Amino acid sequence: MPTQQPPRISAANCAFFLDFDGTLVHFGNPDEIVPVVDDGLRGLLLALRDAADGALAVVSGRTVAAIDGLFEPLTLASSGEHGGEWRHLVGEELQSIPVPPGLDAAHKICEAWSKATPGTLFERKGLSLVLHFHRHPELREAAAAVAQSVCTPDSGLRMLHARGMVEIRPVSADKGVAIRRFMELPPYAGRTPVFLGDDVTDEDGFTAVNALDGISVKIGPGTSHARYRLPNEDAVREWLESLIEPAMRQT
């Protein structure tokens, strides 16, 4: 379990991959709270991207379109739906993996269950499904049973537990795949990868970054494969801000 804070590193030599909810902004229930991206965060990420010569991307469970809307007018390189879709460079055309064959059938089953189960919310993204139960954690087992039932061997889907929800996503999509995909291309290639995330859905990313001898940082409590830890979103901003000035002095 990581306990050590991440070291002071040179942003000029790194490629930054940043989860969104619970990492850059406070994690909120999607049926209650729309996260706010303030100008301070926009300015921080713009400065960090400049210090890293463009090697910065948001890697999120949200769609790329949702990420764009939250950061507007700033546009960032992004991977959405846990690596199911991506845009490696600003201005590049959005790419994605194929739609899993069992997604539509799973949609019908999960939506019907959610409508019949008070305290839950069903969400359909482009390539994945979510059953939310943030205010009713006692429903996790039932939601997981429904989700697991649609993840048959031929569905192309798998279930993953997350904070206040269970997610059904393509078997070929995870944040580790997303980060490795970025790291094969400029301006990310040849740099030390740095990934910050807070949830179970980020563990694939931590594992991938560790294999590349990078900096993996878990935000908040809980067991993790990450090598380092920061306590909360405010600490994330403080640490990222500490990397910018030294890097800019070297340029």
Q: How far apart are CA 3 and CA 223, in angstroms?
A: 10
Q: What strands, in cross-sheet order, belong to the sheet with 85-87? A: 95-96, 85-87, 77-80, 56-59, 14-18, 192-197, 215-219, 228-230
The CATH code that applies to domain 103-170 is 3.30.70.1020
Distance, CA of 156 to chain centre: 21
Whether 86 contacts 76, CB under 8 Å: no
% of the chain beyond a pLDDT of 90: 88
Q: What strands, in cross-sheet order, belong to the sheet with 165-170? A: 121-124, 129-132, 165-170, 157-162
- Name the pTM for this structure: 0.90
What residues does each domain of the chain span? 11-97+173-250, 103-170
- The set of catalytic residues is 19
**CB-based contacts of 158: which residues, under 8 Å, 6+ apart?**
151, 168, 169, 170, 171
157-162 and 121-124 strand pairing: unpaired
**Model pLDDT, residue 249:** 44
The ranges of the chain with pLDDT < 50 are 248-249, 251
Of 10, 166, 180, residue with least CA distance to 83: 180
Extract the tokens encoding 213. 């001898």
Q: How far apart are CA 248 and CA 51, in angstroms?
A: 6
**Model pLDDT, residue 28:** 62
Q: How far apart are CA 246 and CA 251, in angstroms?
A: 9
Q: What is the pLDDT of residues 23-57, one digit of tens each?
A: 999 876 555 556 889 999 999 999 999 999 999 99
Architecture of domain 11-97+173-250: 3-Layer(aba) Sandwich (3.40)
Extract the tokens encoding 135. 């205010």
**Model pLDDT, residue 29:** 55
No. of helices (H) and no. of strands (E), the chain: 7, 12
**Model pLDDT, residue 148:** 98
Q: Cα separations (Å) of 16 from 56, 153, 165?
A: 5, 35, 27
Q: What is the pLDDT of residues 226-251, one digit of tens each?
A: 999 999 999 999 999 999 965 544 54
Whether 60 contacts 67, CB under 8 Å: yes
User: For residue 123, how many other CB atoms are within 10 A of its CB?
Assistant: 16
**Model pLDDT, residue 30:** 55
